[in-house]
């Protein structure tokens, strides 16, 4: 048993060191919030060096730079939740521990990919699920920041467009869409989501409800694009997705209605 633990610790030493540094800086966010910009920069540097270390400090940055952006995106979602919710010390510690575990699992999946050059099925599904969570929480963070800091709508649209562009390109990359037309698809996706955000931003509802709506629309739209690019977009698939969207929207508005009544 002890030998197995030692072997596991040694095999995951790189990831564990990165996570230890990550947790250390995350604690500073709570206890010394005045230097939030510097702590955020430090987290980005730690993630960059950690992923570069996993890739063997290769000079081929194209192999890992998208992984770095994805990790920053996921962490930004967690930070947005921590910063815009009134958490006491224990609540923060629990949320930070959950975020650290997620980042550990994420970087472990990156290590497997950087070593083998392929995404294991479980890692692929897990990272796609994390992307959904990141989209939801970053959207909520952007909407919260727009309200809290009275940001100009243009700033909100730029930040949201950057998220949509990253999310759709990660989807193209993992599913092997290398066509030049993917930039056309990405541009259309950004324009559609920007219009929806512009409408939703003036809607007097909670940020999490609006973020949930934006997340649903984005991922259904992205699935449509993936099916279209593969030539598998049939009437049956379209009807299934439309039915799913309607079901989720009805459930969302019913939940919101019940919550308001309470």
Instruction: Please name the residue that has the structure tokens 């048993």.
Output: 1
Q: Same structural domain for residues 54 and 102?
A: yes
**Number of domains composing the chain:** 2
pLDDT of res. 174: 84
pLDDT of res. 261: 44
pLDDT of res. 86: 74
For residue 194, tell me if it sits in a domain: yes
Q: Same structural domain for residues 74 and 158?
A: no
Q: Same structural domain for residues 103 and 166?
A: no
pLDDT of res. 18: 92
For residue 144, tell me if it sits in a domain: no
pLDDT of res. 48: 92
Q: Which of 98, 118, 138 delimits the end of a domain?
A: 118
Q: Which domain holds residue 18?
A: 1-118
For residue 139, tell me if it sits in a domain: no
Q: Same structural domain for residues 48 and 104?
A: yes
Q: Same structural domain for residues 22 and 112?
A: yes
Q: Same structural domain for residues 238 and 173?
A: yes
Task: Give the whole-angstrom CA distance, residue 157 versus residue 152.
Answer: 9
- Indicate if the alpha-carbon torsion angle 75, 80, 83, 86 is positive or negative: negative
pLDDT of res. 89: 86
**pLDDT tens digits, one per residue of 41-55:** 999 999 999 999 888
Residue ranges, the chain, pLDDT below 70: 232-233, 251-253, 255-262
Q: How would you label 190-226 residue by residue, b for 16+ Cβ within 10 Å and e otherwise?
A: beebbebbeebbeeeeebebbbbbbbbbbbebbebbb
Asked if residue 142 lies in contact with residue 83, where contact means CB atoms within 8 angstroms, the answer is no
For residue 137, tell me if it sits in a domain: no
pLDDT of res. 258: 57
pLDDT of res. 164: 95
For residue 229, tell me if it sits in a domain: yes
For residue 169, tell me if it sits in a domain: yes
For residue 124, tell me if it sits in a domain: no
Q: Same structural domain for residues 110 and 25?
A: yes
pLDDT of res. 262: 42
Q: Same structural domain for residues 87 and 170?
A: no
Q: Same structural domain for residues 112 and 168?
A: no
Q: Which of 118, 140, 172 delimits the end of a domain?
A: 118
Q: Same structural domain for residues 77 and 174?
A: no
Asked if residue 168 lies in contact with residue 185, where contact means CB atoms within 8 angstroms, the answer is yes
For residue 140, tell me if it sits in a domain: no
Q: Same structural domain for residues 195 and 99?
A: no
Q: Same structural domain for residues 113 and 182?
A: no
pLDDT of res. 199: 85
């Amino acid at each position: 048993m002890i030998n197995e633990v030692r072997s596991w610790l040694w095999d995951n030493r790189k990831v564990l060191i990165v996570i230890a540094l990550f947790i250390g800086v995350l604690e500073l966010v709570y206890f010394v919030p005045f230097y939030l910009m510097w702590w955020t920069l430090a987290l980005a540097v730690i993630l960059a060096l950690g992923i570069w270390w996993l890739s063997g400090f290769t000079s081929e940055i194209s192999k890992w730079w998208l992984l770095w952006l994805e990790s920053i995106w996921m962490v930004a979602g967690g930070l947005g939740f921590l910063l815009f919710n009134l958490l006491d010390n224990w609540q923060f510690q629990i949320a930070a521990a959950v975020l650290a575990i997620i980042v550990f699992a994420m970087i472990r999946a990156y290590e497997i990919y950087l070593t083998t050059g392929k995404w294991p099925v479980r890692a692929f599904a897990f990272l796609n699920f994390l992307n959904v969570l990141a989209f939801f929480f970053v959207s909520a963070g952007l909407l919260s920041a727009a309200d809290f800091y009275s940001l100009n709508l243009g700033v909100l649209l730029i930040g949201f467009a950057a998220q949509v562009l990253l999310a759709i390109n990660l989807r193209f990359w993992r599913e092997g869409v290398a066509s030049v037309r993917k930039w056309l698809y990405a541009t259309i996706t950004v324009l559609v989501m920007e219009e929806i955000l512009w409408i939703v931003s003036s809607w007097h509802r909670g940020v999490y409800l609006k973020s949930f709506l934006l997340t649903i629309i984005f991922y259904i739209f992205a699935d449509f694009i993936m099916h279209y690019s593969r030539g598998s977009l049939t009437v049956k698939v379209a009807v299934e997705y439309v039915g799913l969207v309607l079901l989720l929207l009805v459930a969302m508005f019913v939940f919101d209605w019940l919550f308001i009544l309470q």
